[in-house]
Structure 1
Amino acid sequence: MSVKFALTITAVVAGVAFTIGAVIVTLDWQRFHRELENRALLLAHSIAVTAPEDILQSDFWSLYKSLKIMANKVPGGTQDTHILTGMILDTDGIVLAHLDPNNNPLGIPPVHSSEIETQLFAQAREVRTPTILNSGVGNGGFLEGVAPIYSDEKLLGIVRVRLSKRELYLKAQRSTFIIIGLTLALVALGSLLGTAISRRITMPLSAMTEGMEAVGRGEFSNIKPIPVGNDDELGILASAFNKMAKEMAEKKSLEEQIAVSEKLVALGRISAGVAHEVNNPLAGLMNCIDTLKKHPEDPELVERYLPLLDKGLNRIKNIVESLLVELRIEEAHSTDSSSSLDDLRDIVESEINGRDIDFVWDNHLGTEVMINKRRVQQIVLNLLKNSIQALHDKGTVVFRTFQDGNCIILEVSDNGPGIPPENRKQLFDPFFTTKKNGTGLGLWIVYRLVESMRGVIEVESEVGNGTQFQVTLPAMEVST
C-alpha cells in the first residue's frame, strides 16, 4: 500500500508538472508565433505604405531599395536572419522588386521552385487586406506577411515578406528542455515526499485494514490496538477504531452469552412441550396396559383398548418425527432443480383424495432455478398440510411459486376459517395448536427451516376469508 501511495504521489506530481510545462511551452510558442506574425505584417505594411508613389512612377530602384532597407542589407547594416526573402508584385503577379534579383528578374513572375511556392503565390495574389500565410514546420518552416498596395483605393500590387520560423522553434526547444528539467526535478522531489507521506499515513492505515479484516472474520480477539501518535486526523481515527474494536469485542461476547441463554430457554420450552405432549398419550397408554394386565382374557377390553394404544403410540411417533425433522435441518443441504417441487403434487393430491377440496398447483419456477430440495419440500408440504387441515374437508387450497429478482417466492393460501388475531403471535411457537389432533410443530418447523435459509415468512389472514402464507427465500446460484 505504501509503495502504491508513493507512486501515486509521484505520478500526480509528474502529471501536474508535465501539464503545467506543456501549457507553458504552448503559451510560449503561441507568443513567439504572434510576435513573428506581427513582425511580418509590420514589415510588409511599412513597405506597402511607401510603395504606391514609386510604383506609379515606375521607380523600381526605390522599390528595391525599400526592400533592402527592410532587410538591413544597406552598407554597414546587419542582415536580419529572420527574413528569408521579400518581393513587390503588381496585380498581374509580375515582379516589380525582389531581394534576390539575380534569380527573380523584373518583368516576369517570381520563380517557383516547388508546388508550395505556386500555391502561396496564388494565395498572395488574392490578398486584399494584410494577411499571414504559413508553410512548413520545424526549422525549415516559414510564414509570410502579405500586404496589399493601394493608391486612392486602387489596388496596385502586393508586398510579400517571408520570415523564417527557425528562431521560433529554437526558442520553443529551449523552453521545452527547461520544462523537462524542472519536471524531472519535481518528480524526484515528489517521489521523496510521497515516500515520506506514505510511511506517515499508510502504516496506521495498514494496521487499521488488518483490524477491519479481523472484524469482518469475526476474530475480535485478534485485533491489535493501533498506536495513537499525534492528535491529528489519523490519531483521532486510530483512537476511534481502537474504541470501536473494543466495543465490538464486548458486544460479540455479550451476543454469544445471549445466544447460549436463548438456546437454553428454547431447549427448556421444547423439553417442557415434549414432556407435556408425550405424557398425555403416555398416561392413557399406561392406563390401557394396566387394564389389560388385570383382564388379559377379556376380548371386549382388548378390542376396545388396542385402537387406543395404536392412536397414542402414533401420536408419540408423530411428535418424535417432527422433532427429528428439526434436528435434521443442519443436515439438509441437497440441491436440485425447482421441478423437484412437482414431486409433492401427487403426495398432496393423495392427502385430499375423497374430500371436497379443490387443489391448484401453479409452479412458475424455471427448471434452471436450483433449490435446497429437502428443506423447500418440507416447507411446502407442511404449509399445504396446514391449509388442508384448516378446511375441514371443503374448500380450496392454492400453491403458487415464482422468482422475483434474486428471490424465490412460495405462496400457500386457502379459503378456510382464517386465524384469529390473538393466535397469530403464537403461530410459530413450538407445540402451539388449535387443532384437535395437531402437534403444534408443523409451522414451528417451517419457521426454523425458513430461518436457516435466511428467508422470511409472512402470514395474512382474515377470519372467515382464509389465510395466505408467503415464504421469500434467496435464490441459489444457477447450476452450470
Structure 2
Amino acid sequence: MSVADAMLTRAQTVRRLRWSYRFKVPLALSAVALAAGVAVATTTYLLVYRFVEANAVAQTQRLARTLARSLVQPVLSNDVWQAFQTVRAAALAPDSRDSAPLQIVVVDSLGEVFVALDPQAHPLGSSATRLPAPLAAAARWVQTVNPGSDAYIHEDEASNSLIAAERLIGEEETLVGGVIVQQEYGITRAQAREVAKRLAALGAGAIMLIAGIGWVGGRRMIRPLEKLRAAMQAVPAADVRPTVAEVSRLNDEVGDLGNAFLSMMDEIDAKRELEREMLQAERMASIGRLTAGIAHEVNNPLGGMLHAIQNRRLRGGVDEATERTLALLERGLDQIHSTVNALLNEARRELHELREDDLHDLYLLLHPEAQSVDCALEWRVQAPVARALPSVPVRQVLLNLTLNAIAAAGRGGRVQVLGEAADAAWRVRVANTGAVLDARQFAQMCAAQPRAEDSRTGLGLWITARILHTVGGRLELSAAPPAGFVTELIAAFPTFASDTPR
C-alpha cells in the first residue's frame, strides 16, 4: 500500500468515527472555556504591559523635569557635590526603588559631563561625545540651539530603556546645561516571565474550574437527548411513554422533539389497532364463508334423510318399534340441523334485532361443549322485552364469555349465565367455579398483554371488550361473585327502542 492510499484510508476512518453528543457538547463548552481563558489571560498581560510602558515614559520624563529644576543652581555655582547628592537622592527616592534609573548624567553648557550617577563610567569633565550613543544623542539635543521641542524622549531597543533629556535654563533664558535620564522601558524580561507565570497559574485554575462547570452543564443539557435516544431504541419492546412524556415537558427544542415522538407513537398505535381490527374482520369473514360452505354441505344430506323419514311414514304400515326408531332418527337429525343453523347464524353478519331463537341457537352450541368436560351449564338468558339489541355482537360476546367460563371451570365445574334488564341497558352475568381471575389478570387480558405464568395472550376477553366498546357497552369484573362461584364477569349492553333506526 502506498503512502497516499494509507493517508486516504486513515482519513476515511476518521470520517467514520462517531462522536456522541454526550461528549461533543461538554467538550465544546470546555474548549470555549479554554479559549476564553487564554484570551482573557493574553489580553490582561498585554494591558498590563502597555500600562507599565506608559507609566515608565511618564515617570522618566517626570524625573528628568524634576532634576532639571533642581540642578540649575548647583550647575551655575559649580557645586559638583550638591549636584551629585541631588542626583543620588532622586535615584534612591522611595517611589523610584521599584524602577531605579539605569543612569543619570548632567552636562554643562560646554558639552562636558558635570556629574553622573556612576562617576566611574562617566568621569567628571569628560566630553559628552564619549558617552554611549543613545546618551550622546541626548547630549547633542541639549546643545542644539533650536531643538524643535521642549523635551527629549527616545526608546533604545538595544538596552530596552527610555532616555529622556531636559535643558537647564538659567536667568534670561540662558542655557546652563542639561540632564539625561536613562531608565528601563516597561518591565524587564524577568518581570515579564514572573507576570506570565502568575497569569498562567491563575488562568489555569480558572480554566479548569470553568471547564469543569462547562462539562457538568453540558452533560445536564444533553441528558434529555440521551433519554429520548434510549426511548427510541427501546420501542416497541418497552413502554417508553413516561420517559418521553418527561422529556416533552421541557420548554425547548428537545421538548418539541419529545412531543413529535409521542405523536408518532400515537399514530403507530392507531395504525396497529386498525391493522388488528382489519385482520380480525378478515378472519371473521373467512370463518363465515367456511361455515356457510360446511352448513350447505351438511344441510343437503340432512334434508334428504329427513325427507326419507317423512316418505316412510306416508307409505304407512309403520309399527311401534319402527316409529320409535324413526322418531329417534328424526330428533337426532333435527338437532344436527339446529346446531348447523346456529353455527351458520353465528358466522353471518346480517343486521337484525336479538331474538329468542338466537339465544336458543347459542345454547345449542354451548351445551355440548359443557357436556364434553362434564361441566354443569345453567342458562337463564332471555331477550329483553320492548327493548332491542343487535344480535351479532350479543351472540359473539355471550359465546366468548361462556366458552372462557367453561374452560376456567374445568371438568366437574359449574357455569351460570344470567340475563337481566336495567335502565336503558341489558346485562349478562357469567359466573364460574374453578380458576380465579383477579383484577390484574383481567386488566392484562382486556389489554391483550401476555400473562406471566404461561406467556399467552387472552385474546378472547380482549375481543369481547373490543366488541362491547364498539357498541357502547362495557365489560366488568364483579367484586362479589354469587355464592358457590369464584369469578363473575358482567357484560353491559346499551338497549334501544325496537322501532329506533340503527
Structures share a fold, TM > 0.5? no
TM-score interval, normalised by the smaller of the two chains = 0.3 to 0.5
Decide which structure has the larger Cα Rg and report it.
Answer: 2
TM-score, normalisation: structure 1: 0.42
